[in-house]
Structure 1
């Protein structure tokens, strides 16, 4: 019986690894770019790898770099990344209904690896998701992100100094690239971006850059959501 259980766990883990390969490949260019920009921001290779090891959240890490670039304090960076990642609470709660019962310690361990991509792959899997499957998916995704972050930094170190300095522009280009497609689909995103920009301009007159960004993000999100139209109306406007 124990041999059968062990074989099942091994099979689940292998299935998770196979499912995680596509995520790992998708992470490669993003992690490489993160490493390059981290180098241009002033982080050492060890600091870059450590951030990926401890944070493992692409959007938050990119935002942290942009905040570091303007001299934002540690607390403001932590608060901002917390706000950005608060959706992970909902994803983890949803996934907890689908995964098999297991020791809370194991669940806490693989919960660290829940990202938009690992959640999506696990959530659409038919039936109950085993612990072995979760670890298989997350180990591949996590390894790809951390390793390629370091590789990106090393590659950045070999680039000419002028090119390294110009890489910081890529950070803002990436945010624009993420924002524009959303703006085309949903009018509310345009209002949200505009409100956040206006709030940040006002708050930066009497607050530090970091706190102005944090407060502008919160105020804009709350105000726009409060005055937002119903989903049906939003769909009609977007269409």
Structure 2
């Protein structure tokens, strides 16, 4: 009899999130330091992380608050920065078709670049995922991010130059690690197709950056890469 693989549990999702924790701690702490530096209270930093929950968007918010930008400009900017999450949610939605509406809303609401990277890595490895597993992954990341930003706000007053500790590179390093895991798996499956897709994405970003904002350039390059990847045969 063929053995059926058991659906992963909440604790399995928590364990899957562990490799990304260091990045969350580093960049979250830096975010708290920045927030405190522009005059936000610990409560305000906490609420921003709890409600916005987006590293790049929160840094942008702090920068725009520092120059006293109008609220409408901040809202529009954050919308475009986070628009990529719509594409990420669309790409993983087919794997949770049996989930309820509220379960899907919960997954989509807490989906980040990092949890998306872990999820797609598991899918590329043909590993089984479940709603419970995804909740474990998302909720640990969410908790660590909120705690890290609050700690940054509390302790940031004692650190005058956080970049000297390499905190500003933590998120980049984490992205590189997730990217390399995915690229390695894809290169083993189809080297030519993977290189063509990567080349099209890099070229698209470079060209689009001349005509539009970095956020829209990334979204456009993602769509172009997806279309090229979908049209090529393995």
Q: Which moved more, 1:127-136 or 1:187-196?
A: 187-196
Equivalent residues of 1:38, 1:48 under 8 A apart: yes
- CA–CA distance in 1 between the matches of 2:102 and 2:206? 42
Contact (CA 8 Å) 1:99, 1:130: kept in 2 or not? yes
2:54 maps to 1:75: no
State how many pairs are aligned.
183
* Residues 61-93 of structure 1, C-alpha deviations (whole Å, 9 max, x = no match): 111111111111111111101101111111001
Larger C-alpha radius of gyration, 1 or 2? Answer: 1
List structure 1 runs of 4+ shifted beyond 4 angstroms.
185-196
Q: Which residue of 2 aligns with 1:64?
A: 61
Instruction: State whether structure 2 residue 120 is matched by structure 1 residue 123.
Output: yes
**CA apart distance, 1:158:** 3.8
Which residue does the alignment assign to 2:134? 134
2:12 aligned with 1:30? no
Query: CA–CA distance in 1 between the matches of 2:18 and 2:50?
Result: 19
Q: 1:131 to 1:190 in 2, by over 3 A?
A: closer
- Taking structure 1 as the reference length, the TM-score comes to 0.65
Q: What pairs up with 1:2-17 in 2 under 5 angstroms?
A: 11-17=8-14
Q: Secondary structure at the match of 1:109?
A: helix
Stretches of structure 2 that go unaligned for 5 or more consecutive residues are 1-5, 173-200, 226-234
Distance 1:193 1:46 in 2: 37
Rate the CA distance shift 1:107–1:147 in 2: closer, same or farther, 3 A: same
Give the drift of 1:112: 1.1
Contact 2:30 2:168 in 1 (8 A): no
Native 8 Å contact 1:32 1:151 kept in 2: yes
Task: Report the equivalent of 1:150.
Answer: 150
8 A contact 2:80–2:216 mirrored in 1: no
In the TM superposition, what is the alpha-carbon distance from 1:131 to its structure 2 partner? Answer: 0.6
Q: Could you say if the C-alpha distance between residues 16 and 100 of structure 1 is closer, same or farther in structure 2, counting changes exceeding 3 Å?
A: farther
CA distance in 2, matches of 1:127, 1:46: 40
Supply the RMSD in Å over aligned alpha carbons.
Answer: 3.4
Cα 1:190/1:117, change in 2 over 3 Å: same
State the Cα distance separating 1:188 from its structure 2 match: 6.7
**Corresponding residue for residue 186 of structure 2:** none
- Cα shift at 1:110: 2.2
Secondary structure of 2:154 counterpart: helix
- In structure 2, the residue corresponding to 1:101 is in which secondary structure? coil
